[in-house]
Amino acid sequence: MAGSTHSVTNQVPPLVGYDVFSADRALAAAVERHLEPDLHAEVLGELAALGRTSGSVQVQEWGAHANDNPPRLRTHDRYGHRIDEVEFHPSWHRLLGKGVSAGLTAAWDRPGGHVRRAAAFLVWAQVDAGNGCPLSMTHAAVPALRTDPDLAAEWVPRLTSRIYDRDLRPAHRKAGALFGMGMTEKQGGSDVRANTTSARPLAEDGTYELTGHKWFCSAPMSDGFLVLAQAPGGLTCFLVPRVLRDGTRNVFLIQRLKDKLGNRSNASAEVEFDGTWARRVGEEGRGVRTIIEMVAATRLDCVLGSAGLMRQAVAQAVHHCTYREAFGGKLVDKPLMRNVLADLAIESEAATTLALRLAAAYDDGGEQERALLRIAVPAAKYWVTKRCPPVAVEAAECLGGNGYVEESGMPRLVRESPLNSIWEGAGNVQALDVLRALRREPGALDAYLREVGQARGADHRLDAAIKNLLTELADLEGIEGRARRLAERLALVLQGSLLVRFAPPQVADAFCAARLGGDAGAAFGTLPHTLDLASVVERARPVT
């Protein structure tokens, strides 16, 4: 019959129309674990609603459209006036509006605020990781601004608002505002003390004039920015508003937008300051100390963002293999494919479990939890973001040639996957930050060991890994050259401890065997065949 060769069979339905949050058993369990019982109904309902929104056909299309239509820079208007504006596709604004209204910038003063926001951020990252950048920085700017009560009173209510106001107006005329950040410069990169941007005092009221540049300015259409510049007293933190109080534009010259590998929907820019008005945040000469809380919060969001990308990659892979038939049966039932999927699933669950534990430490706020964060955040940022690219690539391979085609969505995940490892300090920066915590804050290691020690005796491979870690810590000879190895082990042991305590036995068993016991190869899909891999894969399946 003519056209019979075009009959379409054995094709996988798209993974849409489902609750992204509730289908993620590891994430839902972590939220329940870390919240007070009286919050469960409210928060789980809130997150399930966001999960349904995230999994809807319409919102998934918004994410694709925002990435297919990157932002464009307009330096001048039709009359030749300098305007320095960035134009975004309407889908970008729809996504950002949904993210703001979902509370992704409003964690600091809510009960269980960091856990509920972390779960929402992880879910929302599976729609479009690009709009996570301004959401993350707006959220993270709050503790830095609170070092100045006047600035906090003016800006924090707008940053934590659930209203997305995209118009460029003075902050006091807006119901909601977004924040960006500019730290690095051409000559220094992560070495921000090499910054040359100068800050000249204008008056005794903390106002300054900035002259210089920023090599990477994230989300340049935000309402305000935290930047670092050299004041008379040394490197200092400043707030640069996009629009001044009288309604005139501040001097904020966007030289060009970066042409990036991934994160295409989000704008990253090179900017110049030339007599730019700014307000000092914190004391002169203490810029890094002032902005460090913002950096720590955005680093946790790097962990959450990577965990979200991994979860979406694994969900797509398991979903595909559940429906796709080959060689006489479903792919998910083939022993070798099941091994690959299970290996990816334990990596994803370990990342999610660790990320939510760190968010819970922010909610607690006690001295021991703050000490734990000091060592666990850089270790987690180092390791989880490093694991994201191989997970995304292997998950794409599970779809075969279909995974290499743009329509599958997998190439977008692959391109996005390296970003969080690079942003907010690449791998070496994180590993060295772990060393600084060990050297300068003895309480950090004590808090870490108390945390992992809660699982001692539950798994012999975890016990051996803890012992080996202590041996590693006791030998400080050439420690800087071993910093990456140490950060990796700290993260793996912490993940193992959490999974042994909280995950189903089959998940914890597989993780400890492969990640701590060495009973696996260098590639995914090399787990011991004696494990209950079918149960691990079933737990990771996104029920639609």
Q: pLDDT digit string (tens) for 246-256?
A: 999 999 999 99
**In whole angstroms, what is the distance from residue 503 CA to residue 496 CA?**
10
Structural domain boundaries of the chain?
25-71+85-159, 171-287, 290-540
Neighbours of 467 (CB within 10 A): 11
Is residue 433 pLDDT above 60, yes or no?
Answer: yes
Band (222; pLDDT cuts 50, 70, 90): very high
For residue range 261-300, list pLDDT tens digits in order.
999 999 999 999 999 999 999 999 999 999 888 888 999 9
Is residue 1 pLDDT above 60, yes or no?
Answer: no
Distances (CA, A) of 499 to 354, 448, 493, 511, 536: 9, 15, 10, 8, 13
Of all residues in the chain, what percent carry a pLDDT higher than 70?
99
The CATH number that domain 290-540 falls under is 1.20.140.10
Token pair for residue 442?
């003895």
Is residue 476 pLDDT above 90, yes or no?
Answer: no
**Whether pTM exceeds 0.85:** yes
**In whole angstroms, what is the distance from residue 166 CA to residue 176 CA?**
9
For residue range 366-408, list pLDDT tens digits in order.
999 999 999 999 999 999 999 999 999 999 999 999 999 999 9
**In whole angstroms, what is the distance from residue 109 CA to residue 143 CA?**
11
Band (544; pLDDT cuts 50, 70, 90): low
**In whole angstroms, what is the distance from residue 451 CA to residue 507 CA?**
20
Per CATH, domain 171-287 is 2.40.110.20 = yes
For residue range 160-186, list pLDDT tens digits in order.
999 999 999 999 999 999 999 998 999
CB-based burial label for 247 (10 Å; 0-12, 13-18, 19+): exposed
Contact 305, 420 (CB under 8 A): yes
Is residue 188 pLDDT above 80, yes or no?
Answer: no
Averaged pLDDT of the chain: 96
Contact 487, 302 (CB under 8 A): no
Is residue 500 pLDDT above 70, yes or no?
Answer: yes
